[in-house]
Amino acid sequence: MDIKKKVFGIDAPETLTTMFLFAAAYRALGRLDQALEIGLEVVERRTTLHGSFDLQTYTAIQGVALTHHYINNNWQAMALQFEVFTGRHKLLGIKHRDTVMAMRTLGVFRAVLDHQTGGNPINETLEETFNRKVRDLEEGATSGTI
Average pLDDT in the 56-76 region?
Answer: 96
In a shared domain, residues 86 and 54? no
Q: Which of 14, 40, 71 is the last residue of a domain?
A: 71
In a shared domain, residues 52 and 67? yes
Per-residue model confidence as pLDDT tens digits over 12-65: 999 999 999 999 999 999 999 999 999 999 999 999 999 999 999 999 999 999
Q: What is the per-residue pLDDT for 146?
A: 39
Which domain does 51 fall in, by range? 1-71
What is the pLDDT confidence band of residue 4, given thresholds at 50, 70 and 90? low
In a shared domain, residues 57 and 99? no
Check pLDDT > 90 for residue 3: no
In a shared domain, residues 99 and 62? no
Q: What is the 8-class DSSP label of residue 119? A: S
In a shared domain, residues 66 and 87? no
| Nearby residues of 64 by Cβ (< 8 Å), 6 or more positions away | 36, 39, 40, 43, 80
Number of domains composing the chain: 2
3 state DSSP class of 30: coil
In this structure, are residues 22 and 15 in contact, taking their beta carbons and an 8 Å threshold?
Answer: no
In a shared domain, residues 5 and 64? yes
Closest by alpha carbon to 22, among 74, 79, 76, 60? 60
Q: Which of 39, 54, 71 is the last residue of a domain?
A: 71
In a shared domain, residues 99 and 132? yes
In a shared domain, residues 35 and 100? no
Q: What is the per-residue pLDDT for 134?
A: 74
Q: What is the per-residue pLDDT for 65?
A: 98
Q: What is the per-residue pLDDT for 68?
A: 97
In a shared domain, residues 17 and 80? no
| Nearby residues of 16 by Cβ (< 8 Å), 6 or more positions away | 42, 45, 46, 56, 60
Check pLDDT > 70 for residue 142: no
Per-residue model confidence as pLDDT tens digits over 80-134: 999 999 999 999 999 999 999 999 999 999 888 888 877 665 555 666 777 777 7
How many Å apart are CA 3 and CA 61, to the nearest integer? 24
Check pLDDT > 50 for residue 140: yes
Q: Which of 71, 89, 108 is the last residue of a domain?
A: 71
In a shared domain, residues 44 and 88? no
In a shared domain, residues 64 and 92? no
Q: What is the per-residue pLDDT for 113?
A: 84
What is the pLDDT confidence band of residue 143, given thresholds at 50, 70 and 90? low
